[in-house]
Amino acid sequence: MVTPATHSKEEIFGLLATIHDPEIPVVTIQEMGMLRDVILTETGCDVIITPTYTGCPAMGIIEHDILQLLHESGIKEVRVTTSYSPSWTTDWMTAATKEKLKNYGIAAPIHSSCVNWLQPKSLIISCPRCHSSDTALISQFGSTACKALYSCTSCKEPFEYFKCH
């Protein structure tokens, strides 16, 4: 079968790697681990993405951004598919991604193997601003599905923590 694809898989990945997370604009969907695969088809491609949280409202916007970008790049038929398996985990974030989150003011997720989900208050989360580990959990639910609310006892500033998932 001859594939009249105008772009290679790597090129499409390269394009998609420029799409930013609509809710955390300092990181891309690739850095977040939401971009899972690209499958070339005869007339275009299938893009496989996975949600961070099932109800994540950013998914609709991300799908729209993918379609728009690839159409503008001349890829005619694009299908975006959401896959739940394997289930997304914050462990897929690289150290560089976590550093970006921290610089943006969001404490980065701790590796899942170090988290006892039954005892969230036992986690020591450092303040992304003053780096103090003297912080307190306010609520496990914050401004978006993926973040918890903390306050720093040292610099007195509130901050968000990207929950381990």
Partner 1 sequence: MTQQEALFKYTLRLGDNALIQGHRLSEWCSKGPILEEDLALTNIALDNIGLAQAFLKYAAAIEGNDKTEDDLAYKRAERQFYNNQITELPIGDFAVTIAKQLLISTFEVQLFTALSKSTDETIAGIAAKGLKESRYHFVHSRDWCFRLGEGTEVSHAKLQQAFNELWPYTGELFEMVEEDNILLVAGIAADLSELHPIWKATVATVLKEATIQMPEDSYMHTGSRNGIHTEHLGHILAEMQYLQRAYPDATW
Under the criterion CB under 8 A, does residue 142 sit at the interface with partner 1? yes
CB of 36 to partner 1, least distance (A): 12
Q: How far apart are CA 160 and CA 148, in angstroms?
A: 6
Binding mask 17-56 for partner 1 (x = CB under 8 A): ----------------------------------x-xxxx
Of 16 and 88, nearer to partner 1 (C-beta) is 88
User: Interface residues for partner 1 in 76-135 (CB under 8 A)?
Assistant: 83-88, 117-118, 120
Report the residue number, 7 or 50, with the smaller CB distance to partner 1.
Answer: 50
Q: Could you say whether residue 149 binds partner 1 (CB under 8 A)?
A: yes
In the complex, the smallest distance separating the C-beta of residue 160 from partner 1, rounded to whole angstroms, is: 12
Size of the site for partner 1 (CB under 8 A): 25
For partner 1, the closer of residues 98 and 147 by Cβ is 147
- Give the interface segment with partner 1, choosing from 4-12, 27-35, 98-106, 143-151 (CB under 8 A): 143-151
Q: Which long-range contacts (CB under 8 A, 24 or more apart) does 11-20 make?
A: 12/38, 12/40, 12/45, 12/47, 12/70, 12/75, 13/38, 15/69, 15/70, 15/73, 16/47, 16/66, 16/69, 16/70, 18/69, 19/62, 19/65, 19/66, 19/69
Contact positions toward partner 1, by CB under 8 A? 51, 53-57, 83-88, 117-118, 120, 138-143, 145, 149, 163, 165
